[in-house]
Amino acid sequence: MRKSLRLFTILLTAVLLFTFSACGSTESNEPEDSHTTKSSEDPKASEGKDSITIAYNAEPVSLASYEANNLTTHSVCSNLYDTLIREESDGELVPGLASEWTYSDDNTEIVFTLREGIKFHDGSEMTAEDVVFSMNTAIASSKTARMTGSFEKMEKVDDTHVKLYLKYPYGAVESCLSNDNCGIFSKAAYEKDPEGFTRNPVATGPYKIVSWTAGESVVMEAFADYWREPAAIKNLIFRIVPDASSGLVALETGQIDVLNLPNTTDFDYIESNSKLQLSTTAANSFYFVAFNCTDGLFAENKVLREVVANAIDPEAILLGALDGQGELVNCAIPVNVKFFPQEFDGYSYNPDYAKQLLKESGFEGQKIKIPCMDVGNDLAITEVVVEQLKAVGFDAEIDMMESTAFLADVYTNGLYDICVNSYTCFINDADGIMYMRYHSDYLGGGNNFVMYNNPEMDSLLDKARSSDNDDERALAYRDACTLMRDDYVLVPILCYLNALAADADLNGIKASDRQRIYVYDFSW
Amino acid sequence: MLNFVTKRILSMLLVVLGISFLIFSVMSLSPGDPAQIILGDGASQEDIAELREEMGLNDNLLVRFFRYIWNAIQGDLGNSYRTGQAVLVELLNRLPNTVLLAIFGVGAAAMIGVPIGIISAVKQYSIIDNVTMVLAMVMTSIPAFWLGLLLMLRFALGWGVVPAIGVDTWQGYILPSVTLAIGNMAVIIRMTRSTMLEVFREDYIRTARAKGASKRSVVLKHALRNALLPIITTIGINFGIQLGGAIVVETVFSIPGLGTLIITSVRQKDIPMVMGAILFVALMICLVTFLMDILYTFLDPRVKIKKRQKQMGVI
């Protein structure tokens, strides 16, 4: 009797397991029949066509423009603030709060003509004093160094003109001025409550803040007195959804309308679902294998760096780590960034040559550790890199590190020989990713952590940033990339894709190279 | 009773102080610079050094710890390094979500698990018992993130009866509570079954049966009452663990709770937030165990009798 009971229970277990697996496979095989409903129970879901809910996997750290220093915060702030110069979705720079501007002969002073009648979210009118205060606050902030590093100060000329003084002529100044770090806000509102301002900013952007529930959502509403046409969608909710799989389910149920960075494994499903749409673009971020060019194994022996450059197969990494969702890059500038050198000859995958070179290099077979961060795609990419290095004869292993430990050990203290990491360019200009990373002025301490110290490189980067001639700048950056290639400073691999999954009824959905979701461009 | 309460409060404070020091030391001594994380990787070393000075990060570890404890006693848990907001405010915003989730999850697990465990014990080796044990094994083995997504696909996307994410409405608590309950239920079922089986073997149960007590009376009045202490302990421990934040469930269902807050804060080296959250969790767990001890005295009269006998010098 007991034997038959046990047999019965084993059979029952098998049936249960089959049932669970059947539940999962049924849903994924029938996307067209998926039941898509808008939840009427959730008050924060889209109600009719009057609102939009956008899911991010992280929370902004602040809503103050001068404190934004990560992609999520920049994206949220870009809906609250306007800048003197505005960047359109195609990258073109157009007049924003300034209707025009002129340069001095030496390009170190810029006079802006301010538009009149622009209102802040609290109804007060924007003045030259507000512009000067906003810009000088940004300049003084240590979190905006990337954008305002070249700015000296701003002064009022008269009620409709302000002047920006630069420390040196800077070719990327307009790109920097279009970033929300240079957003204009109300001086009076800030002075009334400087601490509270980080949660309740008063600016001129198309949306104004309604509330911020920590860990849950940031709610905004369209600014009725916006100086351009008011935004088409009245209510805007940025919702924190840490898991992309849950986010996709929430998108299908209608609980959210836009999902930032869906899983790459879901791309095919989203594209095949008629109720959804997908937009992708190469990110302004790229992954690479970097060497410590001053200390350690790869600094002492340039041939070893050449071995690695020939051992890395970026296509295999793209397929193995990112399911083919990305774009290969062959230089130190991401593909969508201005002055990316077209038709550049990068490294070639040549494992046989790498093996031969390794034997001739005098390498003694030491174990090499490859640190990487425990975030994003870093580990997946490093796993493939390690296998490729092993295939040519290196005894390599992964040293996965918590991100703060990586920043301390690798970025600040240079305690590494070789690592896998990524850079992001926060502006649409190659200076944003080249100068601070490879100029000797930024050796060590976290910026030029590859410790590349080459006067020729310094000269090229100085020339590129100070010129106002695009052709001259493009040539300088191309020469800089060539120099880095010949010196084997790092081995570029790929740019991942930034993606937006959205309700198919939304218009204007376009993935941004910097994950910027500018809701003013959207409509139902 | 007053003596007992006083002793327990003092020991709670010592435990919390010890845990605080341990966490503070680990967070402070582990690699990573909070100032660098706040400013981002484009910041200059001068700016980082200035911020470190401003935040008091260059002071001695003990000085910083005692400064923190002194402020905490006065109700000031500091400001988050990451957001600049008051730690106490952020914790109070998230605490209700975590507590409610723990109550619903463990409560549901107990309400379903205890009866099933009792039935399984009464019907030992029957089909019901075997099925229950297999189900308990399956429930323990299912990863929470997988189960959560599965439930979401069926009930939120498939039938549309509950929201997929968030706890904006009471319906939002259903799927996460069920996910938590299923994980906790297995332990409760097995503990209930084994303690009931142990109690069934006791002499007083045989006596009760011999005296003609009904089966219901034997099981519920005589056996269950005696088996309750370990069951309550298990439920209490599970509740304490959930108060620390069901990180996986909070992540899958996008619930802003203590679990995800602690994880984010640890990764960002947001020491004040980690300290504040751990203090909260430690205090709540101590409170739960204290309440369990009080509950024991009501459930088991022998606890009080032993004390009276000690006082009388009988034992």
Which of chain A's residues have a Cβ under 8 Å away from the Cβ of B133?
Answer: 9
pLDDT at A398 over 90: yes
Q: Write out pLDDT tens, residues A63-93.
A: 999 999 889 999 999 999 999 999 998 889 9
Q: How many helices (H) and strands (E) does chain B have?
A: 15, 0
The distance in angstroms from the start CA to the end CA of chain A is: 66
Instruction: Please give the pLDDT value at position A45.
Output: 43
- Domain with B255, as residue range(s), is 96-312
For residues A276-298, give the mean pLDDT. Answer: 94
pLDDT at A23 over 70: no
pLDDT at A412 over 90: no
Which of chain B's residues have a Cβ under 8 Å away from the Cβ of A54?
Answer: none
Structural contact between residues A228 and A206, judged by C-beta atoms closer than 8 angstroms: yes
- The dihedral built from the CA positions of residue B163, B169, B175 and B179, taken in this order, carries a sign that is positive
Helix (H, G, I), strand (E, B) or coil at A18: helix
pLDDT at B3 over 50: yes
Which of A4, A27, A41 should we substitute to test contact with B (largest number of B Cβ atoms within 10 Å)? A41
pLDDT at A39 over 50: no
Residues 6+ positions from B304 with CB-CB distance below 8 Å: B297
For residues A257-286, give the mean pLDDT. Answer: 95
Instruction: Please give the pLDDT value at position B237.
Output: 87
Which of A253, A259, A265, A269 should we substitute to test contact with B (largest number of B Cβ atoms within 10 Å)? A253
Task: Supply φ then ψ for residue A103, to 5 degrees.
Answer: -100, 155
Could you tell me the pLDDT band of residue B146, with boundaries at 50, 70 and 90? very high
Q: For A166-179, give the DSSP string.
A: ESS--TTHHHHHTS
- Cβ distance A2 to B125 less than 8 Å, yes or no, reads yes
Tokens representing residue A402 in the block? 């918590």
Q: How close, in Å, is residue A358 to chain B by CA atoms?
A: 34
Kindly state whether residue B41 falls inside one of the protein's structural domains: no
Structural contact between residues B82 and B40, judged by C-beta atoms closer than 8 angstroms: no
Which of chain A's residues have a Cβ under 8 Å away from the Cβ of B269?
Answer: 404
Contact status of A160 with chain B (Cβ, < 8 Å) = no
Structural contact between residues A461 and A168, judged by C-beta atoms closer than 8 angstroms: no
Residues 6+ positions from A484 with CB-CB distance below 8 Å: A331, A332, A438, A452, A457, A490
**How many percent of chain A have pLDDT more than 70?**
91
- Cβ distance A215 to B37 less than 8 Å, yes or no, reads no
- Partners of A24 in the β-ladder: none
- Cβ distance B160 to A409 less than 8 Å, yes or no, reads no
User: Which CATH number do you get for residue B287?
Assistant: 1.10.3720.10
- Partners of A55 in the β-ladder: A239, A259
Q: Measure the CA–CA gap between B108 and A186, rounded to whole angstroms.
A: 51
Q: Which range among B5-14, B128-137, B181-190 shows the weakest confidence by mean pLDDT? A: B5-14
Kindly state whether residue B268 falls inside one of the protein's structural domains: yes
Task: Supply φ then ψ for residue A495, to 5 degrees.
Answer: -105, 130
Kindly state whether residue B54 falls inside one of the protein's structural domains: no
Kindly state whether residue B27 falls inside one of the protein's structural domains: no
Angle at which helices B271-299 and B87-122 cross, to 10°:
40
Angle at which helices B87-122 and B224-243 cross, to 10°:
150
Q: How close, in Å, is residue B91 to chain A by CA atoms?
A: 10
Q: What is the ipTM of this complex?
A: 0.84
* Stretch 206-235 of chain B: residues touching chain A, C-beta under 8 Å: none
Q: Measure the CA–CA gap between A396 and A368, rounded to whole angstroms.
A: 5
Question: What's the structural domain count of chain B?
Answer: 1
Which of chain B's residues have a Cβ under 8 Å away from the Cβ of A216?
Answer: 166, 256
Instruction: Please give the pLDDT value at position A131.
Output: 98
Instruction: Please give the pLDDT value at position A32.
Output: 33
Could you tell me the pLDDT band of residue A350, with boundaries at 50, 70 and 90? very high
Contact status of B156 with chain A (Cβ, < 8 Å) = yes
Q: Which range among A26-30, A35-39, A357-361 shows the weakest confidence by mean pLDDT? A: A35-39
Q: SS3 letters for A400-422?
A: EECHHHHHHHHHHCCCCCEEEEE
Contact status of A447 with chain B (Cβ, < 8 Å) = yes
- Cβ distance A249 to B153 less than 8 Å, yes or no, reads yes
- Cβ distance A69 to B40 less than 8 Å, yes or no, reads yes
Torsion of CA B151, B155, B158, B164, to 10 degrees: -80
Q: How many cross-chain Cβ pairs, A to B, lie less than 8 Å apart?
A: 193
Residue of B nearest to A35 (CA): B158
Whether the predicted model's global pTM rises above the 0.80 cut: yes
- The alpha helices in A451-516, defined as continuous H runs, are 455-466, 470-487
Residue of A nearest to B92 (CA): A214
For residues A110-137, give the mean pLDDT. Answer: 97
Instruction: Please give the pLDDT value at position B273.
Output: 92
Tokens representing residue B310 in the block? 């000690």
Q: Measure the CA–CA gap between A258 and A248, rounded to whole angstroms.
A: 9
Q: Measure the CA–CA gap between B95 and B22, rounded to whole angstroms.
A: 23
Q: Which residues of A230-246 are buried (b: 16+ CB within 10 A; e: fewer)?
A: ebbbbbbbbbbbbbbbb
Q: Write out pLDDT tens, residues A176-205.
A: 999 999 999 999 999 999 989 999 999 999
Mean per-residue pLDDT over chain A, rounded: 90
Q: Measure the CA–CA gap between B255 and B263, rounded to whole angstroms.
A: 13
Instruction: Please give the pLDDT value at position A523.
Output: 94
pLDDT at A34 over 50: no
Structural contact between residues A517 and A260, judged by C-beta atoms closer than 8 angstroms: yes
Residues 6+ positions from A236 with CB-CB distance below 8 Å: A51, A52, A54, A79, A207, A219, A220, A221, A222, A519
Structural contact between residues A421 and A410, judged by C-beta atoms closer than 8 angstroms: yes
* Stretch 54-73 of chain A: residues touching chain B, C-beta under 8 Å: 61-62, 69-70
Q: Measure the CA–CA gap between B166 and A44, rounded to whole angstroms.
A: 10
Which stretches of A231-293 are assigned E, i.e. beta strand?
Answer: 235-240, 258-260, 276-282, 285-291
Q: How close, in Å, is residue A159 to chain B by CA atoms?
A: 34
Which of B30, B53, B161, B254 should we substitute to test contact with A (largest number of A Cβ atoms within 10 Å)? B254
Q: How close, in Å, is residue B294 to chain A by CA atoms?
A: 35
pLDDT at A461 over 70: yes
Kindly state whether residue B187 falls inside one of the protein's structural domains: yes
Q: Measure the CA–CA gap between B167 and A465, rounded to whole angstroms.
A: 50
Could you tell me the pLDDT band of residue A26, with boundaries at 50, 70 and 90? very low
Could you tell me the pLDDT band of residue B287, with boundaries at 50, 70 and 90? confident
Contact status of B129 with chain A (Cβ, < 8 Å) = no
Q: How many residues does chain B have?
A: 315
- Cβ distance A408 to B163 less than 8 Å, yes or no, reads no
Q: Measure the CA–CA gap between A60 and A216, rounded to whole angstroms.
A: 11
Tokens representing residue A162 in the block? 């302000």
- Cβ distance B150 to A9 less than 8 Å, yes or no, reads no
Q: How close, in Å, is residue B183 to chain A by CA atoms?
A: 16
Q: Measure the CA–CA gap between A395 and A366, rounded to whole angstroms.
A: 7
Kindly state whether residue B114 falls inside one of the protein's structural domains: yes
CA A178 to chain centre: 16
**DSSP 8-state secondary structure symbol assigned to residue B220:** I
Q: Measure the CA–CA gap between B257 and B99, rounded to whole angstroms.
A: 9
Q: Measure the CA–CA gap between B61 and A425, rounded to whole angstroms.
A: 37
Contact status of A16 with chain B (Cβ, < 8 Å) = yes
Residue B1 or B167, more confident:
B167
- Cβ distance A5 to B165 less than 8 Å, yes or no, reads no
Which of chain A's residues have a Cβ under 8 Å away from the Cβ of B257?
Answer: 215
Which of chain B's residues have a Cβ under 8 Å away from the Cβ of A8?
Answer: 127, 130
Kindly state whether residue B59 falls inside one of the protein's structural domains: no
Q: For B7-57, give the DSSP string.
A: HHHHHHHHHHHHHHHHHHHHHHHSS--HHHHHH-TT--HHHHHHHHHHHTT
Could you tell me the pLDDT band of residue A243, with boundaries at 50, 70 and 90? very high
Contact status of A123 with chain B (Cβ, < 8 Å) = no
Which of chain A's residues have a Cβ under 8 Å away from the Cβ of B156?
Answer: 249-250, 253
In what helix (H) or strand (E) does residue A158 lie, and over which residues does it extend? Answer: strand A151-158
Kindly state whether residue B31 falls inside one of the protein's structural domains: no
Instruction: Please give the pLDDT value at position A501.
Output: 97
